[in-house]
Structure 1
């Protein structure tokens, strides 16, 4: 067995069971392939039934019966074992203990089972029933189905077994238990033991600390910042070290002493890094190259020998006992050194240990002569968060529920820790550059923040996007295909498309007479969610517009890699808002002037800003919709209803009783006129930018910071400054009113404000938690905004006659659940996109979340909601 195959996740050894007289305790790893070995009649099936669940046992006899309807049909053995191996593979892949009940006395049959165990990275364990021949012959004679079995069959089984006994461990079995008498087999006890890497019962809280590399002073500073005193945390938190404690830095022995003492005291856990693995081999007397900082560690250990001769042996034992990775917190967290795909979590093999220590490489080398690492994190879709180190990055960020904590402390970067389950990052700067890196720290790691072009595989097929605020969000394949059509044909330059706004949840259906929507329900919902204060913002009847404004062309080129544009102005589906590129630049220029005049570039410490806004008039972007849908209804009503009214009036003049019908037609005429008036309020002529207005209502993100969680009163104060410093009149204030959801008078004032605004023809308002990003008492994400549309505006949406009592009654049964779910999912994806964009993550990472918003938009939801 090579050093790289030496996995400490479980013990090995022949006859490792404990024994007391006839009583034998057989230790079996809880996830393993148990192979029963013994001659026919040795009692394997009886033993299996006594110690294992029926579903855990795969019997060759039973599989023969499956394929041949006769458990003793030896001609069906080939097919039977194919079935057995297939089922065993499925069970092992699912992480289930599996027991193979067959004679298994031939080396070739055992070889296949050992290979099966290795292919699923579980331990093969042999339990041998080496009972005397006469016992086996007697038992076979007592069984009707085996009474005629020739004696030489058992004799052959016994010979093959005896030849195999000494070599079972060499065949690959990690544990071998041998029972030689009926009494031993009768009194044996199988005890399942937890894998050493399975610490799911430990739920933390944890402080996971990245690569240290001998930087003992920085480690002490970080532990102090995390709240540890003399290696212990007063609140009982547990430190978890991701390895690479040693090499390169000034004091590897000091780091080892601190970590070893914390582990021994039960205050810390530690997994090995590749540098510990190499040091461990050196301490065992193996021949290793003294490179990559090992020479410095050896020199430091030599100096320690004079002070503490036993220390070197203590280090060797400590490293030898380290486990490749740990599964923690009920399976929600995995910690290792170099990262680990989901299929290896909790598994035990040389392959698992190798990946945990070294990661995987593409076989190529970069311009610095270092191996190019395979970006496994890009493909990771596991439920457990994987926290690791190994590959230094300038700053860390989550990638598909994985996080690299090696931020290059020894190279002059910083030392970083993750508080779990808080997911809070804590770091301290390096005191100096202790070791010059072969590769500049500003060159970023694959799978982390290194840029690469967008790839079709990033968005094709069913996707699962990991978000910080709502966990895993799935995108169906058909929705992804629909989004791909829009994105590839109509969207702005993807480098400038960092965010798509979510759909907005409507308020609960009102029971107020004459109303389908009313503010009372929105206030009540937020009160039930525990939101005490909300802000009501005027809803402008325009088209949603997202504006990316860069300080200048250089800023656009540096951050977004574009030549020429200084930003973008796009719709909520990512399409350019205006076909006129020059006119778009004029709008961006006016926004830029306002930001500059308000002094916000310096206040935000940024050279770009992303805003969410309404651009008016509605007719500027929705002209085609107006002509084909709304104007057509108004024109048809104007053409038909006057003639019908005239005919009814003439009939009445002749004495025909048409009063009821005439009244209904008059009501229809009034409804049609109200419909036309409703949509015309939001339409006016523009020439260039004359008549165009933009009402910004949220600052989304700036360099280094997502602002989506900034409370709305602060947001609106910034926006008021923007409007104040706009000399062109392009920007328009968003009116607002703060409401206390628990105060009846305040709620009444909010309702009256809405009634007054919509009575003048306003579209309505959006009610938002003043604190922006809010969770309820159960930790669930609260709707970021609820739209409450005016009575006359809804006439545009539902048709001229929707206010009639019979129509309102039908509409009140509208189903809002899917729309609300969609709004929350898109909101979480939008927040994720903003975080990734602000953190400077690569384009493909930002677009994963942006694309998912667009894909969810193709889910079937009533478009009127």
Structure 2
């Protein structure tokens, strides 16, 4: 007698296929146990296609729609329930194939209710009824082939055989075994041990574990994660297994399967396997232990899964690595790739399988940590890292500390096993990333997820505008991990004679909860991003580019600042030498740096703008007003009194003179790079850190040290620190601003002391610019201070500009985070590209 079904366990995500004749209660069951969005009904698809759930003439089109919806849901990992009769094997086969392609488990729930009950339920329906002969045919067809469901590919099959079961059965949802997203660690992910017990104990000790405890554990509740291949080749296989099994049982470790565990498990089960690659040594060592211990090992190996998804999906651990589309999936294919890697069946000169270099094109959000193929040193490649550093071959046993991303290694005591293939280093990151850049990464509508501003949308028109600029004028995109954001001005001032004033800057940050700001002199130059490596080898290793300058200096749009490469090389050489003299390279532990700066004079880059716009305006205005003054004077000689017009003309001439003085002081003669100055104000990033998150005080101190080493090239940025709740501090900074701008200075930028500041309303402006009265003549015109003009300008709207500044800043930080994390270049470049794309938004350019 069949046991009564009380609970159905389904894997989530996965596919659930309801199988039963019309009237068997499938739709009612689906509504009771699943969300409406999780159920894909053939009847609903008929209605969507043909406006009538009972219209059998659109069945083919309805099932095309059904399969499309199911495929899309499974692709993105959603539980999906198919409500259709599904009594025929061919109908089920297409659904099983969809689940197989998505590498998800498929469950069948069979509604094998008595025929009479199905007919009775069908007759009670008011919306539609199925003919009795059709129900009888469906019922008989399902009963004939229900026993073959597992052979069809269903991982689980549940049969509901009565109305009582239908009403009382419960649905239990279980996450896939690999899904540990709610487990945030912290973790210590340990590479292939291969029986190196001495090295394992030394590494655990160095990681802070109490190796004298039984089982071994960490006093701060950190946990080890073994990436597989604990066994074979080394002298301490049994001892390593003892450590790992006890730690896993105690909860102080996790472990996934490696290909060597897979093979040892089959051997312990008595299956025919080749005694190669150290398996014989493992079996010999285990023979020295009891049968009970060997059974324990066999059970432990049998319970190991293919991979883990951890820390909210930010971390994936798989023995041979795992492309993004397989993360959090469960199938034989996923297990094979996780254990053995993706191979094409070919062998190299050593007789070992040639594996597809999946990490070279990895673009996922999750960091993937793996082993399997030993390397000389663990290095990040596109947000993936191999931590098998060949301990058993005389290399090192390595662990990655997560979330810190720190590497900890111990040297092997000796060469325990001669490698078949010599250990080799990973190919340069830049070469790998550049090889797979594609225009599809940035064309059309883009959606970019950022940690500071959430999901940002770039419309297709904006992408097109950015593509036009970047494809025609920008440097090699491998040099562009970052483009600088725009900056919002302060709120409009109501003070007499002022459009912008420091009062509004301090008031904004005080309202935002920022207690300390730094006010920095705003240089009148051109924004520049400096990307430089310590030497040519470092440039090639990190950026995949070999050039004489070992770096670039680019504008806000990614264009090279100087047409002559020699000019760039000379400036970078001086900067590089200054960093060497101050010990900055070694202090930051980096071979490359990104700097945000201003390049002066303004005329070095903007000479055409100055000549064609500002100088032309000044010359035309001077000529016109001079002629007007002469005509007024001639009229006065004829006793035609034009006093009011004369005064107005004199006033306009005075305004124009101030306009000419305003732009002239930002121009001076340069010969090549002689006379060029760089005013750096932030060190954006180095090898292992987004330095842009450090307090501004740190940046300015480090930059002052650089300036001391290259005073002819580097210009100091004057600054004042202000407490937003201290009137004396505010008054002091305001006086400084008045003094600076009255001498002709452009103004200041007020920034939170901590560059990345978030309050309950979101991201606080990373900086607001407050420009001086005279400089604003260049922006709003020579006569903008005339009362009628100033009153009109006070109606300017800043909302869109402020939003743009925050979004572009968030994209910049996101780009730096991805770059430092060694994510695929396309993901980094997407953020920098988005900054340029947003610049095409319709915002008043004077802001």
CA distance in 2, matches of 1:609, 1:526: 30
Q: What's the offset of the Cα at 1:759?
A: 0.8
Bigger drift between 536-545 and 390-399 goes to: 390-399
Change (3 A) 1:361 1:828: farther
Change (3 A) 1:745 1:429: farther
Bigger drift between 796-805 and 672-681 goes to: 796-805
Once the two structures are superposed, the pairs formed by residues 200-279 of structure 1 within 5 Å of their partners are 202-207=182-187, 209-214=189-194, 215-224=196-205, 227-229=208-210, 230=213, 231-237=216-222, 239-279=224-264
Change (3 A) 1:405 1:491: same
CA distance in 1, matches of 2:720, 2:135: 91
Change (3 A) 1:723 1:346: closer
Local SS of the residue matching 1:310? helix
- Of residues 774, 790, 794 in structure 2, which corresponds to 1:808? 790
- 1:192 counterpart = 2:172: yes
Q: What's the offset of the Cα at 1:800?
A: 1.4
- 1:427 counterpart = 2:408: yes
The aligned counterpart of 1:117 is 99
Change (3 A) 1:514 1:25: same
Once the two structures are superposed, the pairs formed by residues 55-70 of structure 1 within 5 Å of their partners are 56-60=38-42
Q: What's the offset of the Cα at 1:801?
A: 2.2
Bigger drift between 666-675 and 207-216 goes to: 207-216
Q: What's the offset of the Cα at 1:326?
A: 4.0
- Of residues 342, 346, 366 in structure 2, which corresponds to 1:360? 342
Q: Do 1:376 and 1:447's aligned partners in 2 also have CA atoms closer than 8 Å?
A: no
CA distance in 2, matches of 1:763, 1:505: 15
- 1:787 counterpart = 2:787: no
Local SS of the residue matching 2:169? strand
CA distance in 2, matches of 1:279, 1:439: 22
- 1:107 counterpart = 2:107: no
Q: What's the offset of the Cα at 1:710?
A: 5.2
Matched residue pairs, number? 836
The aligned counterpart of 1:25 is 7
Local SS of the residue matching 2:380? coil
The aligned counterpart of 1:320 is 302
- TM-align CA RMSD: 4.3
- 1:614 counterpart = 2:632: no
CA distance in 1, matches of 2:760, 2:418: 49
Deviations 1:22-52 (A, max 9, x none): x633334444433333445545455555555
Deviations 1:429-454 (A, max 9, x none): 34456555556555216989856547
List gaps (5 residues or longer) in structure 2.
Answer: none
Deviations 1:150-169 (A, max 9, x none): 66x55544543343233222
Deviations 1:144-183 (A, max 9, x none): 99999466x5554454334323322222222222334444
CA distance in 2, matches of 1:298, 1:246: 10
The aligned counterpart of 2:354 is 371
Q: Do 1:124 and 1:173's aligned partners in 2 also have CA atoms closer than 8 Å?
A: yes
CA distance in 2, matches of 1:779, 1:253: 56
Q: What's the offset of the Cα at 1:734?
A: 3.1
- 1:626 counterpart = 2:610: yes
- 1:562 counterpart = 2:543: no
CA distance in 2, matches of 1:591, 1:85: 60
Bigger drift between 574-583 and 331-340 goes to: 331-340
Q: What's the offset of the Cα at 1:749?
A: 1.4
Once the two structures are superposed, the pairs formed by residues 368-407 of structure 1 within 5 Å of their partners are 369-375=352-358, 378-381=361-364, 388-390=370-372, 394-397=377-380, 399=382, 406=388
Once the two structures are superposed, the pairs formed by residues 306-705 of structure 1 within 5 Å of their partners are 308-328=290-310, 334-341=316-323, 343-361=325-343, 369-375=352-358, 378-381=361-364, 388-390=370-372, 394-397=377-380, 399=382, 406=388, 410=392, 412-420=395-403, 423-432=404-413, 441-444=423-426, 450=432, 452-453=434-435, 455-457=437-439, 459-461=441-443, 476-492=459-475, 499-528=482-511, 531-547=514-530, 561-565=545-549, 567-591=551-575, 594=578, 611-647=595-631, 662-700=646-684
Once the two structures are superposed, the pairs formed by residues 823-834 of structure 1 within 5 Å of their partners are 823-827=805-809, 830=812
Q: What's the offset of the Cα at 1:107?
A: 2.7
CA distance in 2, matches of 1:676, 1:549: 37
CA distance in 1, matches of 2:202, 2:761: 33
The aligned counterpart of 2:109 is 127
Q: What's the offset of the Cα at 1:137?
A: 5.6
Deviations 1:505-526 (A, max 9, x none): 4334334332232233334444
Q: Do 1:502 and 1:830's aligned partners in 2 also have CA atoms closer than 8 Å?
A: yes
Deviations 1:614-667 (A, max 9, x none): 333222221100111111221221122233445556667878786655544443
The aligned counterpart of 1:4 is none
CA distance in 2, matches of 1:679, 1:149: 88
Q: What's the offset of the Cα at 1:758?
A: 0.9
Q: Do 2:437 and 2:825's aligned partners in 1 also have CA atoms closer than 8 Å?
A: no
Change (3 A) 1:164 1:798: same
Change (3 A) 1:261 1:740: same
Q: What's the offset of the Cα at 1:683?
A: 1.5
Q: Do 2:324 and 2:363's aligned partners in 1 also have CA atoms closer than 8 Å?
A: yes
CA distance in 2, matches of 1:85, 1:836: 36
The aligned counterpart of 1:5 is none
Q: What's the offset of the Cα at 1:93?
A: 4.1
Bigger drift between 743-752 and 116-125 goes to: 116-125
Change (3 A) 1:645 1:288: farther
- Of residues 741, 749, 752 in structure 2, which corresponds to 1:766? 749
Q: What's the offset of the Cα at 1:416?
A: 2.4
Change (3 A) 1:436 1:768: farther
Q: What's the offset of the Cα at 1:703?
A: 6.4
Change (3 A) 1:819 1:335: farther
Bigger drift between 625-634 and 549-558 goes to: 549-558
Local SS of the residue matching 2:734? helix
CA distance in 2, matches of 1:834, 1:470: 15
Change (3 A) 1:457 1:278: farther
The aligned counterpart of 2:718 is 735
Local SS of the residue matching 2:291? coil
Local SS of the residue matching 2:98? helix
Deviations 1:278-312 (A, max 9, x none): 33223222233344444443333333x2xx43222
The aligned counterpart of 2:154 is 173
CA distance in 2, matches of 1:379, 1:91: 23
Q: What's the offset of the Cα at 1:207?
A: 1.3
The aligned counterpart of 1:281 is 266
